[in-house]
Amino acid sequence: MSAQDKIYFPGLNGIRFIAAFSVIVHHVEQTKYWANLPNVWGKSVFIDSLGHRGVSLFFTLSGFLITYLLMAEISKTSTVNVYKFYVRRTLRIWPLYYFITLFTFFVLPHLVTLPGISGDLNTDFYIKLFLYLILIPNIARQMYPSVLGSNQAWSVGIEEQFYAYWPLLVRWFKRNLMMFFVVFIVLKIAVQLLLMASIELFPASDWIRYLRFANTAWRFLQVEQMAVGAMGAYLLFHGFRRYLSVIYHPVTMWITFAAILISLFVHASFVGFSIIEAVAYTILILNISTNKQCPVKLNAPWLQKMGDISYGIYMYHTICLAVVIRLLMNINLPQASWVWFNVVMYTVPAALTLGVSWLSYQYLEMPFIKLKERFMVVKSSTHSNASSEALSKAKTAANEPQRS
């Protein structure tokens, strides 16, 4: 690959947008629930699953792409420049994350209040703010009631925690990466089983509440899904024909796609389900982005643009939902016409989110994205208009998938 070439995976932006949009639908009903309006929050498996599956897809995709780029960097330089990695992640994630945090803690409460949640912000306000500022909003979410407008930041916190150690581990275990991924996943699940067993064995202990807290926090720390995505990146990067040909086989592809759709209507929470889920998403990612025979194409120009602003969509949508539902409650639309209220709730916040996210991408995020490019060791792109060449290692697969 020449110095001007960039790693590009067709369809990843489309996957990002679908994941972000599914979370919006999930949170429409949650926001209605918070506002004490009729809703299906907690009653519809499909609505509940959309949000959870969307976040899991984000986690798996993050592990896949980050690990692929790290392996490309090792191939190019024999190591990982951890400092530049941290700078790149900081420039991409922190500006919007901290803007949302400060806005929802200090500005939004003066603009929008919703019954059932807005008053909760004052509960240990500074402790909660501190947890957000040090990038562990997942712990804040577990300890305290939700923060209107930034509750979704819990998953961003988990990704940042993953990024804190992942490049170091990949660099340390670069000669035995696949074995490291397997051990990492096994240890993650083993600790979860140990915590669950401890709760069962010592239900009356003085420290049972700490065990329960640790068990919940550990379960939501879905880093095993990122590691599964990393395994997919490893198979692709090293061009393992045997495994890739199975992944690209039409039977595997269609069974996986069907299983993902069916899972939206099935409630599953057993230990190990997150692994199964991530495996399915890894197969989906590999087929959509590197299998030329896959009929599902998510690289249309409008999907490319939606993928670019997907981080903003994910971070802004709960604020937009809160603003719209407050305005509709002020004009008594829920009481006047329940049908029109739902039509508006499923359209206007989405449109508002897209507009705000585009403005944010152009004027808040883009300056940092451009600065981030100075710290790239391996060039990557979300668009196909960069000069590129086929990924030779992936070409060894049966239908010659491409990296470009």
pLDDT tens-digit readout, 58-89: 999 999 999 999 999 999 999 999 999 999 99
Number of CB atoms found within 10 A of residue 95's CB: 16
Confidence check: pLDDT of 133 > 90: yes
| pLDDT classification of 204: cutoffs 50, 70, 90 | confident
User: What are the counts of helices (DSSP H) followed by strands (DSSP E) for the chain?
Assistant: 19, 0
- Closest listed residue to residue 106, CA positions, set 126, 136, 90: 126
Q: How far apart are CA 347 and CA 317, in angstroms?
A: 12
Task: Give the pLDDT confidence score for residue 70 in this predicted structure.
Answer: 97
- Residue 87's alpha-carbon distances to 52, 92, 93, in angstroms, are 29, 9, 10
Q: What's the whole-number average pLDDT of the chain?
A: 90
Return left, alpha or beta for 332; rule: phi > 0 is left, psi -120 to 50 is alpha, else beta: left
Confidence check: pLDDT of 285 > 70: yes
Q: How far apart are CA 317 and CA 75, in angstroms?
A: 39
- Do the beta carbons of residue 170 and residue 71 sit within 8 Å? yes
pLDDT tens-digit readout, 177-194: 999 999 999 999 999 999
DSSP classification of residue 328? H
Extract the tokens encoding 230. Answer: 């990393």
- Residue 162's alpha-carbon distances to 68, 72, 128, 280, in angstroms, are 15, 19, 21, 21
Number of CB atoms found within 10 A of residue 380's CB: 16
Task: Give the pLDDT confidence score for residue 386 in this predicted structure.
Answer: 46
Which SS3 state, helix, strand or coil, does residue 228 take? helix
Name the residue ranges covered by the structural domains of the chain: 12-396
Average pLDDT over residues 168-177: 96
pLDDT tens-digit readout, 231-246: 999 999 999 999 999 9
Task: Give the pLDDT confidence score for residue 394 in this predicted structure.
Answer: 44
Burial of 271 (0-12, 13-18, 19+ CB in 10 A): exposed
Task: Give the pLDDT confidence score for residue 252 in this predicted structure.
Answer: 97
Q: How far apart are CA 343 and CA 45, in angstroms?
A: 21
Task: Give the pLDDT confidence score for residue 383 in this predicted structure.
Answer: 67
pLDDT tens-digit readout, 291-339: 999 999 998 999 999 999 999 999 999 999 999 999 999 999 988 888 9
Number of CB atoms found within 10 A of residue 116's CB: 14
Cross-strand pairs, 7:
380
Task: Give the pLDDT confidence score for residue 403 in this predicted structure.
Answer: 41
**% of the chain at pLDDT higher than 70:** 93
Which SS3 state, helix, strand or coil, does residue 137 take? helix
Which SS3 state, helix, strand or coil, does residue 297 take? coil
Task: Give the pLDDT confidence score for residue 288 in this predicted structure.
Answer: 96
**pTM for the whole structure:** 0.92
Task: Give the pLDDT confidence score for residue 82 in this predicted structure.
Answer: 97
Residues 6+ apart with CB under 8 A from 360: 96, 309, 312, 316
Q: How far apart are CA 191 and CA 212, in angstroms?
A: 13
pLDDT tens-digit readout, 344-387: 999 999 999 999 999 999 999 999 999 999 999 998 777 665 43
- Residue 341's alpha-carbon distances to 108, 116, 230, 334, 338, in angstroms, are 23, 19, 43, 5, 5
Extract the tokens encoding 321. Answer: 């939902």
